[in-house]
Structure 1
Amino acid sequence: MSASQVPPAVPTDRVRVDPGAAALRSPAETARHLREGARSRVAHSRRFRMAQLEAFDRMLRVHREEIFSALAADLGKNQVESQATELQIVQTGLDHAKRHLEDWMRTRSVPSPFVLAPVTTTVTARPLGMVLIIAPWNYPINLTLAPLVEAIAAGNTVVLKPSELAPATSALLERIIPQFLDHRAVGIVTGGPEVTTELLQEKFDHILYTGGERVGRIVYEAAARQLTPVTLELGGKCPVVVNDGDIMSVARRLAYGKFMNAGQTCVAPDYVLAVGETGPRLAKALGKVIKEFYGANPQESKDFGRIINVNHVQRLAGLLEEGTILAGGQVDEADRYVAPTILTGVDSDSPVMQEEIFGPILPILSVPSFDDALRFIGDRPDPLAAYVFTERSGVIRAFEEGVRAGAVGVNATNIHLAVPELPFGGVGASGIGAYHGKAGFDTFSQQRPTLNKGTRLDTLKVVYPPYGSAKSALLKRVL
């Protein structure tokens, strides 16, 4: 199909969208149902995709307050944080996909060697087929629905598996998605690890998993048995190097990125490497900022969230046993509360420096020089994001060149996820592949090449055998 043959947009009310079918009881039944949808190409046309995206938009608007309530129940999130880090990122990606869908789908012509002329050579983004999205609990709206937008935009059918550890959000999505999205194109399956295990026995055309490395390996192994491509978002210990700058501004930006969602953010600062004499000043500034953000008792603040469950509270409490607590340190299991905490005097081999913290605990380690900070990061697994605070352009260039990470932030943390044009993904131990915006559309698409050469003029005769001396000499010159 040429660029001029792309179907024009049509009103979405002319597209048959069939939501609300009876629930399919087993994961295998749901996968088989969505496989039939993929085989029938129900989601391929641009008008169907656009109709689904419009219905998606309505779903977010109609159930906005219920989404806020579910996030508050699961993670103690206030509405401002829920809007900024969950709904708004999904909405931005949705608006971006609707705005660019026609361009993303457009068949593009590519040049070909002159010896093949006359030929037409094109590349078209084709749907992969049926996609499985396995979502985590820490951002149960954002990390479930953002990839769904792009999988729909790419024309796939999708099986969604939200996390059972965020039960209020999972139950809400299970209820509202069938009311708005066509059951032939999108299905949702809820439950625990046994449900995920059953789903992984089915054949998918792509799997996107967001979560920890241990389960990521299980997903990867199951996908390999089916030769299914994967996108893995696995997190890791995201470092921050504080080299120079206004210390209070640095502290505010660090605290904002670290303590949103009570630290349960895959790209949150995991530890700080303070260069030279900046460590004590930064620790003192962070203590002030915690009070500025959350008051003298953050447990009473409506703006500070909760840990997902008691098991994670106990895990985080164990990480407080080493080092010196300069701020915070309080734990209340019954309230699922761990205070925003600053640690110093931490040994680089201690547990808090070996595992991803995924909670509101921020260790600060002092290093003699910026080069020492780079070596420290380079000796550890590749993180999902790495951050540097500095006003020196040479330091920025050295950091960008010297650090291998899924993303780099300069004088800011976390907020790169809000830019739909920036791919979101890891490298090495922090993940495989990327999505968000065009990167997500490409992840869920096959870039299929087509070559068309008419038969009326057979210019290829020169390459057919037999090869005499004259033909051989000619081919050596042109090939």
Structure 2
Amino acid sequence: MSDFSTIVQRQREFFSTGATRETSFRIRRLKEFEQALKAREQELFDAIETDLRKSRYDTFVSELSLVYRELHFMMRNLTKWSGKQRVRTNLVNFPARSYLLPEPYGVTYIAGAWNYPYQLTLIPLIDALAAGNTAVVKPSELAPRTSSVMAQIINATFAPEYCIAVEGGAETAQAVLKERFDYIFFTGGTKIGKLVYEAAAKHLTPVTLELGGKNPAFVLPGCDIETCAKRIVWGKLLNAGQTCVAVDYLIVHSSVEEPLLAAMRKVLETHYPSDGTAENYMAIVNEKHVDRIAQLIDRTKLYYGGNVDRTNRFIQPTILQNVSWEDAVMKEEIFGPVLPVVRYEDLNDAMARVKRYPKPLSLYVFGPDGGEKERLFRELSFGGGSQNDAVMYFVNDHLPLGGVGASGMGAYHGFDGFRTFSHYKAIMEKPTWLEFWFLKVPPYAEWKLKLLRFLIERL
């Protein structure tokens, strides 16, 4: 089916029946989806290995396990979340009771990304369905085999008037976005995100934009060198650096730079490959991206790595030392396995430099508790982050994932995913046995004004 107007209209008609508002309906559909994914799990493993050379282990750990966790988290909690959420009522409205009542938006559109094609497509889909919406979902065409398998599973599991997957490139995305949706969720780059936002604005459709950014990691004096080196390297090289929350660059105090670099070299030599024939190391998505990343490697500042195998879409994990803020590698999000290291002496200067960049999706601080860590978390603007670790906050069910400014808007995961795809109606209920009518209607005497002022200031 490729008539997008018909697809959206059929979903709108189905949504209007109220079937998706029943929590029992939602839970059944999510259970069926989990069963369908597990029944074809081997196809999912094979597809992503074909597209991205991603190992079975990495696929389960960084993709499918997160999808299953989100399914379970939603099924366990959506009945509670779908009910009335009581809030306090001020005394001005006494007697009354107030609450928020969530309702699904309606017909949603979800555009996934290629770098984590399963979790970045299916988790927002799960959140949308758990909240009671219908969905049109488009996986990324840059991972074509993965897109095909996901679309097959989705379209075999759900009726098209409830949830349907559509495939295609930019033309398909543009055609879909001409339709009026009730909510749009996009994961990808800032350039396309702006186009999605522009299309949504024509219909005043609310959006979540999960974009990216140049994520800094500060390494402070007093850090645990060995542990920080391991966690920085892992947080940079997960998915061959093609991770929106990955460490993009290091800002390292001069007192710990050399021991940290030596420790990172040791980790790289022990655990990561030097050529494109190695297994268990993901490929760069295509040759265009290989060329783009390779151009960012300044051979005069090479500390470790630097090998490029265009045929195998491989770039060796690479560290650049003595990097300045003006270097080419500091001008854009790297989205690959190249780690620039910028040395700092004064934290104020380093923070001022970071503030000149667009607000990042993530920020990491490696170092002890204390004033410097607190300053970085409080004074710098970013979507989310962590102390003494990288990336892992992303998998906490109880923390939202989302950007700010150029790194995106809105958030999801866990309850925040349910909340993103829900409109909360504000409702107040009052009895009829008490009424302060005399204060509402003319004549508005001076004594009434004094009484109201007294009540408002004290209640």
Shorter-chain TM-score: what band? over 0.9
Structure 2 residue corresponding to 1:271, chosen from 249, 262, 281:
249
Q: Which residue of 1 aligns with 2:389?
A: 412
1:354-384 per-residue CA deviation (whole Å, 9 max, x = no partner) reads 1100011111111113333322222211110
Report the TM-score when normalising by structure 1.
0.90
Aligned partners of 1:220 and 1:313: how far apart in 2?
Answer: 29
User: Could you say which residue in structure 2 is the equivalent of 1:18?
Assistant: none
The alpha carbon displacement at 1:395 in A equals 2.7
Give 2:124's aligned residue: 147
User: Quick one: which amino acid aligns to residue 412 of structure 2?
Assistant: Y
Query: In the TM superposition, what is the alpha-carbon distance from 1:458 to its structure 2 partner?
Result: 6.5
| Matched positions, count | 454
Q: How far apart in 1 are the matches of 2:449 and 2:267?
A: 78
Correspondences of 1:16-35 after superposition (within 5 Å): 24-35=1-12
CA positional deviation for 1:322: 5.6
TM-score (norm 2): 0.94
Partner SS, residue 425 of structure 1: coil
Separation in structure 1 between the aligned mates of residue 218 and residue 93 of structure 2, nearest angstrom = 54
User: Cα gap change, 1:83/1:460 in structure 2, threshold over 3 Å: closer, same or farther?
Assistant: same
Q: Displacement of 1:474 after TM fit?
A: 5.2
Aligned-partner Cα distance in 2 for 1:34–1:424: 28
1:113-124 → structure 2 map (5 Å cutoff): 113-124=90-101
Aligned position for 1:250: 228
CA contact (8 A) 2:4 2:179 kept: no
Instruction: State the shift of 1:140 in Å.
Output: 0.3
Matched, 1:262 2:225: no
Contact 1:310 1:333 in 2 (8 A): yes
* Alpha-carbon distance between aligned partners in 2 of 1:289 and 1:113, rounded to the nearest angstrom: 58
1:241–1:373 Cα contact (<8 Å) kept? no
Tell me the amino acid that sits aligned with residue 18 of structure 2.
R
Does 1:224 find its partner at 2:201? yes
Equivalent residue in structure 1 for 2:324, among 347, 365, 374: 347
One-letter code of the match for 2:86?
A: S
**1:238-264 CA distance string (max 9 Å, x none):** 001111323222221111111111110
Q: What is the DSSP-based 3-state SS (H/G/I as helix, E as strand, rest coil) of the residue aligned with 2:245?
A: coil
Correspondence for 1:92: 69
Structure 2 residue 103 is the aligned partner of structure 1 residue 126: yes
Q: Kindly indicate whether residue 441 of structure 2 is the aligned counterpart of residue 465 of structure 1.
A: yes
Is the Cα–Cα contact under 8 Å of residues 323 and 345 in structure 1 kept in the other structure?
Answer: no
Unaligned runs of 5+ in 2: none
Aligned residues: percent identity? 37
User: Against the structure 1 CA distance between its residues 369 and 45, is the aligned structure 2 distance closer, same or farther, given a 3 Å change threshold?
Assistant: same
Deviations along 1:40-91, whole A, 9 cap, x unmatched? 2231110111111111221221122211111111111111111111111111
CA contact (8 A) 1:42 1:184 kept: no
Letter in 2 for 1:119: A
How far apart, in 2, do the equivalents of 1:219 and 1:312 lie? 23
After TM superposition, the structure 1 = structure 2 runs for residues 21-420 of structure 1, keeping only pairs within 5 Å, are 24-243=1-220, 244-295=222-273, 297-321=274-298, 323-420=300-397
Q: 2:323, 2:300 → 1: CA distance?
A: 4
The answer for the alignment partner of 2:424 in structure 1 is 447
Task: Check the 8 A contact 2:180/2:203 in 1, yes or no.
Answer: yes
Read off the aligned partner of 2:149 and give its amino acid letter: L
Q: Distance in 2 between matches of 1:202 and 1:287?
A: 51
Runs (5+) with no aligned partner, structure 1: 1-23
What is aligned with 1:4?
Answer: none
Counterpart-to-counterpart distance in 2, 1:309 and 1:410: 33
Give the whole-Å Cα distance in 1 for the aligned partners of 2:372 and 2:451. 56
Moved more, 84-93 or 28-37: 28-37
Check conservation: 1:275, 1:367, Cα contact below 8 A: yes
Question: Displacement of 1:115 after TM fit?
Answer: 4.6
